[in-house]
Structure 1
Amino acid sequence: MQKTIYISPIMDTFIDSYLKNKNFSNQTHYFLGHFKSATKYRILLKFDLSSLPKNCNIINAKLTLFCIRNDYMEQENTFSIHPITKNWNYKNVNYLNQPKYDKSRKIQTKINCHLWEPISWDITEYAREWLKNPRKNFGIMIKAENEKDKASLLGLCSQRHNNKDWRPKLEITFTIKEKREIYLKPIPKIAIVTPQFFEWDGNRCLFGGGERYLIDLAKLLQKLGYEVDVFQPSIYEEWERIYKGIKIKGIGNPGFHQDFFIRLNKMFYQITKNYDYHIYFNMDVTYPHVFPNSICISHGIWWDSSERQWWRSKLWYSRLFQSINAVDLLVSVDTNTINWLNAVNPNLKCKKVYIPNYVDLETFKPSKTEPINKKYIKILYPRRLHPGRGWTVCKNVAVELVNEYDNIIFSFAGRGDKQSEKHMKIFASKHPRIEYTWYEMNEMYKAYKDADIVLIPSLYSEGTSLSLLEGMACGKPIIAGLVGGLTDLIIHGYNGYLIEINKENLKNAIIKLINNPELRKDMGKNARKISEHFSKKIWEERWKKIILQQFPIN
């Protein structure tokens, strides 16, 4: 099995022939070369290879330094690396007491116009010797090959530079000798923690996009050969449920504080230590503890409104960045989240990958035949009953439109909490041609069957909506909010409209489509074409690649 690791130096500094007695171990940079044919600069580095397996075979060892200054770019200069042969201390070393080095052995690289880019040396032979005999690892000295009559000056970033990506590093690729014994390893176990699948009393599932995503991901993991358990908050008492072959456990009070499920996180950390791998289904369940080699899923930015006063506070930022920084891999369903993280905190260590949401193209597809002499134009809101999803503004627009147009039906198809569902039933009963229903996960395709226009009027807290993708796959024109990951899916005027959601904008966009059946038809065809790039099969292949890399099964 081949692996690659990156090692930082345990000692690093440079020495100066002009300031012979001075130690430079606290500098954020090194100088290297021969300045004006007078001052010599040399770099001293030492790397500890004890983190490598003793039985490994080093294939390649590449030393990389980042160049931020080059005074003689018009000429080619050669720089050599020599093995140091005596002990030294980076805190007190200077030009006068510098350690001895082996002049007969050297690894060279040629530098000319390098600037604001990394410089590399292949020091594989040295690394192999250090691994074989750590006692002979005294580090390396880097110097200009010609220190007598040729000027050459470089500035390079040290271990103390603010930009972590520019610090010196030793990249080692190695293989591990595999044991010949054949044995069967137990099925690897994956623990997933989520803020909610069932309501916290364990009696009801909300059947939203997030819940469907969780089940589809768990099913994929099982198909790949993993055992999967899901953990979520519970109230009153702990409970255990089975949903479509997935075990879901309620493990107690969530300890919610300013967006983060702190007690849930701590309980998950305690009771799943014997699991092989861990997935944090939302970013808000990652604080304060994160398992090594874990995956976190971002379903979109949820703090892009003024709904809660603590959003974007100093404490909130601190918790978010601490937890995300501890995650090994962040899978984001949209580009919006990745762009925001890169802009606000570019030094986050976690790897980021974009895997957009998906749709089952065999289940969600256009009707084979169009209804003849259809009496009504049906406008569908296939979302959870939540203000952030645009539910409230949709209701207001629905009331006005059914009063102004006698040829439309407004359909709300989605679940909410018990109060919201009760309200929606009463609301629909009071307004002719406004209807309310909801579907089980495996029957959601029925909602789109006779719809003519699909609304995804999110105000905030949105990724790449499953409902939007389902509507597109069914060949429906979409009206969507200009928010979150929806901009990854809609090309304004091609497969739908992207608008800033308010009552006037939403109403006007709907009226345009009501009055233009050909536009509805063209947008619907385009929507289906785009949806084919977000198929469930593509999503599964992307996830499969990530899972097998991140969570080795053998």
Structure 2
Amino acid sequence: MKVFLLYPYFFSPDGKQKKIGGVETYIESLADVIVGLGLTPIVCQFSEKPFERSYLNYVVRGYGVKTIKKLYKSIESDIDKHSDLIIFVSDLWSIRVKDVKTLSIQHGIYWDIPRNQGPYILYYCQRVKQVLKALIDFNKTRYSVCVDYNFYNWYKTFNVKLKCKKHWIIPNFANQCISKSELNQKITSRSSRINIIFARRFYEFRGVNIFTEAMLRIMQEYPCVNVTFAGEGPGEKYIRDCFAAYENRFSVIKYAPSESFEVHKKFDIAVVPTIGSEGTSLSLLEAMGAGCIAISTPVGGLSNIIIDEYNGYITMPASDDLYMTIKKAIDNINNTQIVMHAVDSVKSSFSKEKWSIAWRNVLKYIMQAE
């Protein structure tokens, strides 16, 4: 049985460089599960020119197309309609296909990003259009997997007769989790410096602006605090300009997804101040698993992870609230219970092993379905 994973760009359009991001990491992990079941994963994407290359233990194929419909048409002749499965890695990039087993992955509510309102009528028409598109996209495939409970509960308000056997909720995961001895060492060897990390793309909807505003106040009040921005994006110049006066206490870094755990182990506090468009964040889970005090907003799937002041801190997505919450975390830096609860939460509920088992069960169910 072949499993085709369709996504616009897993590799760059020329097929030479693997792209870095949460969805790309998700594809890698899902392909491992598929291989573990004795199935054959084939990643299919758009490209400038057709290409085929081996990556890890599966094949990536690029087709010279720019739409999902044309991508499907390009692989249609290779599909065994009686046994093969098509996975649309994002429901945003899915289509209706007859007589083939299809599944889409819903990565969270994405249309809650603040936008320029303009005329009220136009603004609300755009919102209604986005809601209708989300409902339609979710129903294009025979099966679906959601990464958080937030979307499921929203969708259920429109469809109270939702057939649960065809829909599953599989939250995202942390690749690794710090050991008890490592965690104790991290806590006991903590220096007088407090290191805070923002490991997100530098976009406004990821909270980079409100985090910057909050941290400028923190840096003035707490000379013991260092801040690191890990990632890239259009907000980088803004960040560097704002922290120019704190050259010795501020840095911008980049790292590969495989390095996330080791990077986060070096930090005391990790902040995920998302304003919109969020599922169960890999960044947040990785930070918790690495023994960081985690701060997040109650946006999207983040609210499925953090219980305020038990395994992290919840803040509203505004710079004043974020400032007060970071201040609280700093003042309570020696509250080891929160960190321990965070690690336990990841181990028990958001481990990669649990995620893999859930996906195996889904794939087995679909394989056996007629």
Interval of TM-score (by shorter of Structure 1 and Structure 2): 0.7 to 0.9
User: Aligned AA for 1:511?
Assistant: K
CA distance in 2 between partners of 1:225 and 1:426 (Å): 52
1:228 paired with 2:44, answer: no
Give the Å deviation of 1:472: 1.5
Q: Which residue of 2 aligns with 1:324?
A: 138
Deviation at 1:479, TM superposition (A): 0.9
Does structure 1 conserve the Cα–Cα contact (< 8 Å) formed by 2:31 and 2:41? yes
Amino acid at match of 1:542: A
| CA 208–317 in structure 1, closer or farther in 2 if over 3 Å, else same | same
Q: Among residues 95, 100, 107, which one is paired with 1:292 in the alignment?
A: 100
Contact 1:334 1:485 in 2 (8 A): yes
Give 2:22's aligned amino acid: G
1:280 aligns with 2:97: no
Q: Distance in 2 between matches of 1:367 and 1:207?
A: 28
SS where residue 510 of structure 1 aligns?
helix
Report the aligned-residue RMSD: 2.8
Deviation at 1:504, TM superposition (A): 0.5
C-alpha distance 430-206 of structure 1, shift in aligned 2 (>3 A): farther
Q: Which AA in structure 2 matches 1:215?
A: E
- 1:394 deviates by 1.6
Q: Does 1:455 align with 2:271?
A: yes
The aligned residue for residue 157 of structure 2 is: 343
In the alignment, is the contact (CA less than 8 A) between 1:239 and 1:250 conserved in 2? yes
Q: Which SS does the other structure have where 2:251 is aligned? A: strand
Higher normalized helix content (fraction of residues): 2
What is the CA–CA distance in structure 1 between the aligned matches of 2:276 and 2:361, rounded to whole Å?
Answer: 31
Cα distance in 1 for residues equivalent to 2:109 and 2:99: 23
Contact 2:114 2:276 in 1 (8 A): no
Deviations 1:415-455 (A, max 9, x none): 44xx5567666766664212111211221112211211111
Q: 1:298-317 alignment to 2 at 5 Å? A: 298-307=106-115, 311-314=126-129, 316-317=130-131
SS in 1 for 2:275: coil
Partner SS, residue 540 of structure 1: helix
3-state DSSP class of the match of 1:475? Answer: coil
2:337 is the counterpart of 1:529? no
Partner in structure 2 of residue 544 of structure 1: 360
Structure 1's 426 and 243: CA in aligned 2 closer, same or farther, altered over 3 A? farther
How many angstroms does 1:401 deviate by? 2.1
Partner of 2:173: 358
Partner of 1:212: 25
Give TM-score, length-normalised by structure 1.
0.58
Gaps of 5+ in 1: 1-187, 255-262
1:506 maps to 2:327: no
State the TM-score, normalized to the length of structure 2. 0.85
Q: Quote the offset at 1:382 in angstroms.
A: 1.7
Deviates more, 1:491-500 or 1:331-340: 491-500
Structure 2: tracts of 5 or more residues without a match: 117-122
Q: Could you tell me which residue of structure 2 aligns to residue 26 of structure 1?
A: none
What SS does structure 2 have at the residue aligned with 1:551? helix
Counterpart-to-counterpart distance in 2, 1:216 and 1:422:
33
The separation in 2 between residues aligned to 1:392 and 1:203, in whole angstroms, is 33
Question: How many corresponding residue pairs?
Answer: 353
**Secondary structure class of the residue paired with 2:346:** helix
More strand by share: 1
Deviations 1:71-121 (A, max 9, x none): xxxxxxxxxxxxxxxxxxxxxxxxxxxxxxxxxxxxxxxxxxxxxxxxxxx
Shift in alpha-carbon separation, 1:439–1:403, aligned structure 2, 3 A? same
Query: What SS class does the counterpart of residue 517 from structure 1 fall into?
Result: coil
- Amino acid corresponding to residue 86 of structure 2 in structure 1: H
Q: Which residue of 1 aligns with 2:120?
A: none
Residue 194 of structure 1, CA deviation? 1.8
Identity of aligned residues (%): 30
Residue 272 of structure 1: SS of its match in structure 2? helix
Higher relative contact order (CA 8 A, sep 6+): 2
Give the residue type in structure 1 aligned to 2:62: G
Contact persistence 1:338–1:352 (CA under 8 A) = no
What is the CA–CA distance in structure 2 between the aligned matches of 1:553 and 1:438, rounded to whole Å? 44
* Residue of 211, 224, 234 corresponding to 1:407: 224
Cα separation, 2, equivalents of 1:501 and 1:222:
40
Q: CA deviation at 1:238?
A: 4.1
Gap change, CA 1:344 and 1:312, over 3 Å in 2: farther
Q: Counterpart amino acid of 2:60?
A: I
Within 1, Cα distance between the matches of 2:94 and 2:266? 41
The aligned residue for residue 441 of structure 1 is 257
* Structure 1 residue 470 displacement after superposition: 1.3
Q: Which one has a bigger Cα radius of gyration?
A: 1
User: What secondary structure is seen at the aligned counterpart in 1 of 2:112?
Assistant: coil
Cα distance in 2 for partners of 1:387, 1:431 equals: 22
